[in-house]
């Protein structure tokens, strides 16, 4: 297969951590051609979606890639275009999904589908499965959020477009900074945010559960917060611990998997704290390398095998 990965700049990817690197290594190991481009390199000419891209030689180790040649190609000439640009889901990101939508109309196979990347906000998507969701409020009104805090006493507030724990705060009634935090996050009532009841099970980890083309990866990556920290995100200093899925984890994953597959969400990362679903990540789910390093399950190889079947 000829595969194009739309990623953040290659020089910034971590060879030991980034799932995109694991995907490209697995693809090369199975004999596929690997190319990479940044979202800013996508364009449309004469109605055809194209990109400047780099054909890569991918290998193990710190020096994990070499640019073999640079090209300018139509996206429909690739067997699959894998969108892996990290959030924030800002105007530039949304415009990239529109360009990828043109590519899809041209006949390209884009994963995840561009419409899904636009339509399924990673925080709001949980409302498709209310049976798994802790008490949650989405609002720009600080008074409403204050009432929610008064009801639940201990809450998490977060923006709807960020990743890696960015902008996530824990608020209690005794917090003297709560008004300033809410003013900042809501931009003084101009931007909606999410508030969720604090889940003390975070001490056991914010579990990342991966779905690949309707299949549930049998290992979760529990991201354990640092001492004194609320966020388990690896980007916020959390420690990743691979562990088998619990019965509740599997119930959540197996309920969501066919829903995701039917909508063109080839890869999803579910975030579960305790028994509650907190996010459905569809932009650039991670955890591949940590799970593979701690278990015998090669998630990247599973991903590429699923691409081959598709």
pLDDT digits (tens, 9 = 90+) for 106-143: 999 999 999 999 999 999 999 999 999 999 999 999 99
Q: Is residue 76 annotated as a catalytic residue, yes or no?
A: no
Q: What does the pLDDT look like over 210-219, one tens digit per residue? A: 999 999 999 9
Which of 76, 158, 178, 197 is the catalytic position?
A: 158
Q: What does the pLDDT look like over 83-110, one tens digit per residue? A: 999 999 899 999 999 999 999 999 999 9
Tell me, what's the pLDDT at 227? Answer: 73
Question: How confident is residue 294, by pLDDT bands cut at 50, 70 and 90?
Answer: very high
Q: Is residue 69 annotated as a catalytic residue, yes or no?
A: no
Output the pTM of the full model.
0.93
Tell me, what's the pLDDT at 298? Answer: 98
Q: Is residue 271 annotated as a catalytic residue, yes or no?
A: yes
Q: Is residue 106 annotated as a catalytic residue, yes or no?
A: no
Q: What does the pLDDT look like over 13-70, one tens digit per residue? A: 999 999 999 999 999 999 999 999 999 999 999 999 999 999 999 999 999 999 999 9
Q: Is residue 113 annotated as a catalytic residue, yes or no?
A: no
Q: Which residues contact 171 (CB under 8 A, 6 or more apart)?
A: 149, 154, 155, 156, 157, 178, 181, 182
Which of 76, 84, 109, 123 is the catalytic position?
A: 123
By three-state DSSP, how is residue 148 classified? helix
d(CA 156, CA 128): 20
Q: Which residues pair with 65 in a beta bridge?
A: 58
Q: Which residues contact 129 (CB under 8 A, 6 or more apart)?
A: 252, 255, 256, 277
Domains delineated in the chain: 2-113 (3.40.50.20), 124-129+202-297 (3.30.470.20), 135-197 (3.30.1490.20)
Q: What one-character DSSP code corresponds to residue 88?
A: P
pLDDT at 175 over 70: yes
Q: Is residue 231 annotated as a catalytic residue, yes or no?
A: yes
Which of 50, 208, 249, 290 is the catalytic position?
A: 208
How do beta strands 33-37 and 267-273 pair? unpaired
């Amino acid at each position: 297969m000829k595969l194009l990965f739309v990623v953040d700049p290659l020089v910034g990817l971590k060879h030991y951590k980034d799932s995109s690197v694991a995907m490209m290594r697995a693809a090369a190991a199975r004999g596929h051609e690997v190319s990479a481009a940044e979202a800013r390199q996508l364009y449309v000419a004469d109605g055809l979606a194209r990109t400047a891209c780099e054909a890569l030689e991918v290998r193990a180790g710190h020096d994990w890639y070499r640019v073999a040649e640079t090209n300018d190609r139509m996206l429909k000439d690739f067997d699959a275009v894998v969108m892996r640009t990290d959030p924030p889901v800002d105007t530039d990101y949304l415009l990239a999904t529109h360009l990828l939508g043109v590519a899809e109309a041209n006949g390209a196979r884009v994963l995840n589908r561009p419409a899904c990347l636009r339509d399924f906000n990673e925080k709001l998507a949980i409302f498709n499965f209310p049976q798994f969701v802790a008490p949650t409020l989405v609002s720009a009104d600080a008074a409403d959020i204050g009432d929610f805090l008064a009801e639940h006493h201990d809450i998490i507030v977060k923006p709807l477009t960020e990743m890696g724990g960015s902008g996530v705060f824990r608020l209690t009634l005794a917090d003297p900074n709560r008004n300033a935090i809410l003013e900042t996050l809501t931009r003084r009532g101009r931007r909606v945010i999410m508030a969720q009841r604090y889940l003390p099970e975070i001490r056991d980890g914010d579990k990342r559960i991966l779905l690949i083309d309707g299949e549930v990866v049998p290992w979760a990556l529990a991201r354990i917060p640092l001492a004194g920290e609320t966020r388990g995100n690896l980007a916020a200093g959390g420690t990743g611990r691979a562990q088998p899925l619990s019965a509740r984890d599997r119930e959540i994953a197996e309920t969501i998997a066919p829903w995701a597959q039917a909508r063109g969400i080839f890869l999803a990362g579910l975030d579960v704290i305790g028994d509650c679903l907190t996010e459905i990540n569809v932009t650039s789910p991670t955890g591949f390398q940590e799970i593979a390093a701690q278990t015998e399950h090669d998630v990247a190889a599973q991903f590429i095998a699923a691409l081959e079947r598709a």
